[in-house]
Structure 1
Amino acid sequence: MTGDRVLAPQPPADGSKPKGPASYFPSIESTYGRPVQEWLDLAADRLDDESHMAVVAWLKSEHGLGHGHANAIVAYVKAARA
């Protein structure tokens, strides 16, 4: 991996639901059977050389993610790096 690693968020300590792109992460894990950290690592690596939408399209075509889930992963990585 060449880019900066973005770590998956911890659940809010107060028991509230995550906000923004992270709100999709429990569903992503249950739907695709892989930890969110794996998806974040894949997206972070691709974002070194590709645009947001190119990475979204890749996650959809190569890994079968839905558009909302793929977009949430990419958006989270980009926001964490900003």
Structure 2
Amino acid sequence: MATDAKVKGPASYFPSIEKTYGQPVAHWFKLLDAVQDRKHIEQVDFLKTTHGIGHGHANALVAYHKAQR
């Protein structure tokens, strides 16, 4: 029986993030590497204010990035 594994959690936002902002998520993770010493919300604010990313998308990127470390 074949199962279609539906992506859940922060990664479920990735297709929309890539489409909306025209960059692969790896681009955003690289930017987050430069501010990894900051708190979660400070990283979210960095993406929002510096790069114009919406709150939900920024939060998903930060959450996923932090979970991978």
Count of aligned residue pairs for this structure pair: 67
Q: Which runs of 5+ in 2 are unaligned?
A: none
Q: Deviations over 1:41-65 (max 9, x none)?
A: 1112211x21111010010001000
Q: Which has the larger radius of gyration?
A: 2
User: RMSD between aligned alpha carbons?
Assistant: 1.2
For residue 34 of structure 2, give the secondary structure of its aligned residue in structure 1: helix
Q: Deviations over 1:5-62 (max 9, x none)?
A: xxxxxxxxx6533111000000000000011100111112211x21111010010001
Could you state the TM-score of these two structures normalised by the residue count of structure 1?
0.75
**Higher fraction of helix:** 2
Could you state the TM-score of these two structures normalised by the residue count of structure 2?
0.88
Report percent identity of matched pairs.
Answer: 58
For residue 46 of structure 1, give the secondary structure of its aligned residue in structure 2: coil
Q: What does residue range 62-77 of structure 1 map to in structure 2 within 5 Å?
A: 62-77=50-65
Q: Which runs of 4+ in 1 moved over 2 A?
A: 14-17
1:32 maps to what in 2? 21
